[in-house]
Every structure is written in structure tokens, then in C-alpha cells.
A and B are shown apart, each in its own frame.
Chain A
Amino acid sequence: VASGKGGTGKTLLATSLASTLASRGPGVAYVDADVEAPNGHLFLKPTITDVARHTVRVPMLEGGACSGCGLCAEACRFGAIVAGGEGVTVYPELCHSCGVCVRACPERSLGEKARETGTLRRGQAGPVGFVDGTLDVGEARAVPLIEATVKESTRWPLAVLDAPPGTSCGARAAVDGADLVLLVCEPTPFGLHDLDLSLQMCGALGLPTAAVLNRSDLGDGEVRSLLSDKKVPLLAEVPFDREIAMACAAGVLATERVPELAATVNRLADHLQDGYGHLLT
């Protein structure tokens, strides 16, 4: 579940859809890969069974064989390691964990250590399996944690994955390899512009797409034209409803408070199981 624009209702849809699918049969998980702003737990209220710190590899000097030759610094394309004087200085926030410096060291005195960048949690929310990743505040690189979170989804036969907004590397990492990308969009000029970018991203990655139009009555029709031009099926429409907004405000699953929304998500689940059953088995 993705969108170019933020705040279109990805989490609302992903949590509701996961709950609805889980009520129909076992083996369904909700996976929150919006690691910069993970909010699914607020609505699903899972019992957390497993908490692990996520780490990336960064270089470190092992032993005392460093000659200060500077070949590691020369090889690093990110400016993350500087040689001089008594050894090397590593700037971990610039490091991409590529391992090039380690291989470049003729003395074999560079090793790698784990550096924590976030938290990965597993749990259960009633019938719904639950995973989320949370990036530490101050940490710049979300992609490794997003990839680790997405990898968790393979433990379930069917995972509804909540992606970060946008179309940059983080969004790419979250949708890459998905069987279907459900784009949540809204009929505003911003929504239209960002939907177009999302479709370009999914096109470049060769991913099948479908759309859900949220707050469908609060704007113009251009989003519908774009979807039909690009032959992207519109699987559901959710009109603006203060009751949904109130439920989100209170941190409860809106499908439990708003029967119309529950019916819409149910029909969406039917659509997915009928039209995309080959992807979801």
C-alpha cells in the first residue's frame, strides 16, 4: 500500500485491509515499512512478542596493523572514511555499508562492526500478524531498515505492507518485489501530481498497480482520468467522512466505527481475492 503524496490514507487502508483479510483466513500480516513515521501500531494495538535492534555494518580498525596508507579513504565514494596520522576516522552517518574500504585495505586491518539504526518489532494483533520498523531519530538512512522490515513479510503467506510516502529510494525499497502495489490517492492537484510520480516509479520497477481513491468527493475528476488513461484499475472509493477522521483521531480502526467503510474494505478484499487471487495465494 503506497502513495506519492503523504497523508492520503495508506495506514487507514493497510490496517483495515489486513484486518479484513485476516478475518477470512489465517496467515495474514500487516507490515509497517514507513519507518520514519510508523503508525500502524496505534490502530492495530498489537501484542509485541519480539523486539530486535536493527544494525548496519560500518568499518572499524581491528588490531594495530594500519599503515595510514589511505587506500581505504581513496576507495570510499561517500567520504565516510578518512585516513591520516595514527589510523582512520569513520563517519558512520555517511557510510553506505558497501564494504569497499574493507576490501581496499592491503594490511587487512579493517573489519566491520554493527551500528544500530532502528528497531524491528514482531507481534500479533488478534488474527493479524504484525511487524514494524522504527528508525532512530537523527538517523539519515532509512533504506536498510525498510529492507529488513519488508523481508519479514516473507514469513507470512499474505502480507499487507504499509510503504513510506514519496517516490525516492525509501518508497522504492518498500514496494520492490511486491505482487501488487495498491496506490492510495486523493482527487486534489497534489494527489494527481504525486499519483503520476508513483505510477512512473512502479512502471520503472515493472510492478502491477491498482488504486484506491480516498476522500473521493473532495476534489475534481482528473485523478480518475489519469487512472483510466494509464489503465490502472480503481478498486475502491472512500468518500470523506468526519466519522472516519474521528476514528483516526481516537486511534481506533475506522472499519470498526464506520460500517460504510467496513463494507468498502470488504468489497476491496473481494476484488483482490477474485481479480488478483493468482498473486495472493
Chain B
Amino acid sequence: MRQISIISGKGGTGKTSLAGAFVHLAGSCVAVDADVDAANLALLLPGADASWLPFESGQRAVIDPGRCTACGTCLEACRFAAVAQAGTGMRSDPLRCEGCGACAQVCEEDAVSFRANRAGSWTIRTGPWGTLVHARLGVAQDSSGKLVTHLRREARRLAARDGRQWVLVDGPPGIGCPAHAAITGVDGVVVVTEPTEAGAHDLTRALDLAHHFGVSAGVVLNKCDLSAEGARRVETVASRWKVPLLGSIPFDPRLPRSLGRRETGLELGGVRESIVACWTAVGDVLVGRSPVEEHLVALGAN
């Protein structure tokens, strides 16, 4: 089993479209949508969801109005500005509370209790293209990294159970907590970028992150023909980081509309060939295969 994560630093570079196309090309894979607060991969992969399961993480403070004397000690102790006066007592805002317990620690009336925090929900979707593990993070929730870790663990379990060759992770934008959870321990990271100044800037940060976690990375330049100058800038960044350019995909104004038909670009001539070349490079260049593995793959094919 090989795990590949697709990230970008900058948002909107085409991670999800590319991930959807890779799922179709991989054949034997379990996909993970690790962009849990804007999860879109399921829109490209129609199928049947199993029942949605709650994902609980951490706790939230609940202040008992019957016991609260509004002394304000908790308000002073809370460093997340979650506690505020509401009517005659204090109230803890679940969107701001991080469940640290400071309010309970200082409350002399024993008025604070805790409830499990439902950070989101998740499910497994199956379709002719394979299996997708995806989730919905609750609004303004802070547990995206933990949810991503959970989804990836589930995907590895399913891939091992079903003998799938690939786990493909559609990562979040940025370089923070959920991005860490999306790339730790993978066999390779595909950084999707675009030929813009911002694309090159965020590519640098994404490659730095992959380096930080000791994961090998490759670059896909999307919308490559929008600017020759921008494309050169991206190539410069890649070569400075000694990271291979896995391929380039041209901009096609038909793509946004084709996404509406749950297509991934593989249906568009010119785009298809470049995506196939990128996927081939993921296998050949990014993760490579040892001779033994090649042999096993060949045996499997026979």
C-alpha cells in the first residue's frame, strides 16, 4: 500500500480535481478527503454513503445557571474569551471554548460541567471508482487535525482489508494543523501549484513543510499556460528545493463546467494526457518501485 497526499499551500490550485482524476486512474485505491472544513471530493465521486458517524473530540464547558453566582472568576480565568455574562449568570460559548477546564478549576460554586464535543461526522462512500472516507467538520471547530488523522487511519484499515494499492489523500490548503495530519507518514506528497507569484510563494512553504516532516515531494503545475513568467518562477522554486516537476496541466475554461457534471478533466482532450502523465510520474518518480515490488505488481496483473 502506497500513501500519497495532495496539498498546495495556496487554496484553489486544483487539488480536489486532480485527486478525483487520480482516483479514477489509480483503479485500486481508498481516497480520503482531508480538507474537512471544505470537503469537496465527494462531489466528484458519486456513490453510496454508509451511515454518518459522529466524531467526538475534546470537551466543552457548560455552566449551570442554577449554581452560577456570576462572580466572574471563570471569565477572568478563560484565555479564549469563551465566557461571557448572559442574564444573571455566566455562559460559555461552545464556538470559542477549547475545553481546557480553566473555568471549572477556578469556580467556587462547582457550577461547571463538561460535555463531549461533537467536532464533526464522517462516513465511508463506495462507488465504481473505489472507496472514499470523508467527513464534515462542525462549523468553527478546532479539531480538524484529529479528524484527518482519524480518516486516514480508517482509510489504511480499509485499504489493508481490501488489498488496495493506493491511499490517496486530498489535503487541505495551508501549512497548519490539518496539513500536518494529512502528510505525516505518507510515501509522497504532490504539491499542486499555479503559475502565479502567490502560487510560487505558497509552494515554497508547502515544500518546506514536506521537508520538515521528512516526506518526499513532487510538484504539479496546474493552469501552466496562464503565465510563462509564473511557470518559470514555479520551476525555479522546484529546482531550488531539488524536487521533481511531475507534470504540467494546461488551463481549460471548460473544466469548471465539467466539474458540475462530476468530471475531473479526464474527459477533456489535452487535459487528460497531461493528468495521466502526472499520475504516471507519481508512480515512477515520486514513490518509485523497487524491483521486487514491480515483480509483485506484474504477478498481480497476471
Q: Which residues of A contact B (CB under 8 A)?
A: 4-8, 11, 36-37, 39, 42-43, 75, 77-78, 96-100, 103-104, 135, 137-143, 164-172, 186-190, 193-194, 197, 200-201, 204-205, 215, 218-220, 240, 242, 245-246, 248-251
The listed residue (A6, A143, A242) touching B173 by CB distance below 8 A is: A6
Q: How large is the interface on B (under 10, 10 to 19, 20 to 34, 35 or more residues)?
A: 35 or more
Q: Mark B86-109, 1 if CB is under 8 A from A, else 0.
A: 000000000100111110011000
Alpha-carbon distance between A215 and B256 when the two chains are bound, in angstroms: 10
Extra contacts, 18 of them, besides A138-B209, A165-B174, A200-B139 (Cβ < 8 A), are A4-B38, A37-B9, A37-B205, A77-B58, A77-B59, A98-B102, A104-B105, A164-B174, A166-B174, A187-B256, A190-B38, A190-B259, A193-B40, A215-B256, A218-B257, A219-B260, A245-B226, A249-B197
Residues A246 and B227 in contact, CB atoms below 8 Å apart: yes
- Interface contact A167-B197, CB-CB below 8 Å: no
Question: Which one, B141-149, B154-162, B239-247, B269-277, is touching chain A?
Answer: B141-149
- B101–A137 touching, CB < 8 Å: no
CB A203 to nearest CB in B, in angstroms, measures 8
13 contacts between A and B (CB under 8 A): A8-B12, A11-B198, A43-B197, A98-B102, A138-B212, A141-B177, A143-B142, A166-B173, A189-B260, A197-B37, A245-B196, A248-B196, A249-B196
Hey, which chain A residues are within 8 Å of B174, CB to CB? 36-37, 142, 164-166, 170
**Given contact pairs A39-B198, A188-B256, A197 touches B205 in the complex (Cβ within 8 A):** no
For residue B289, CB closer than 8 A to chain A, the reply is no
Question: Are B100 and A96 touching (Cβ within 8 A)?
Answer: yes
In the assembled complex, the CB of A281 is this many whole angstroms from the nearest CB of chain B, namely: 26
From known contacts A167-B139, A169-B140, infer whether A36 and B173 are also in contact, taking CB-CB under 8 Å.
Answer: yes
State whether the Cβ of B67 lies closer than 8 Å to any Cβ in chain A: no
Q: Does B253 contact A (CB under 8 A)?
A: yes
Question: A78, A194, A242: which contacts B100 (Cβ < 8 A)?
Answer: A78
**Per-residue 0/1 for B271-289: is the Cβ within 8 Å of any A Cβ (1 yes, 0 no)?**
0000000000000000000
How many A-B Cβ pairs are below 8 Å?
197
Instruction: List B residues at the A interface (Cβ < 8 Å).
Output: 8-13, 16, 35-38, 40, 43, 58-59, 77, 79-80, 95, 98-102, 105-106, 137, 139-142, 144-145, 172-180, 195-198, 201-202, 205, 208-209, 212, 223, 226-227, 229-230, 251, 253, 256-257, 259-260
Query: How far, in whole Å, are A250 and B180 apart by their CA atoms in the complex?
Result: 30
Q: In the complex, what distance in Å separates the CA atom of A91 from the CA atom of B173? A: 25
Instruction: Find chain B residues with CB under 8 A from A103 CB.
Output: 77, 102, 105-106
State which of A137, A166, A250 has its C-beta within 8 Å of the C-beta of B230. A250
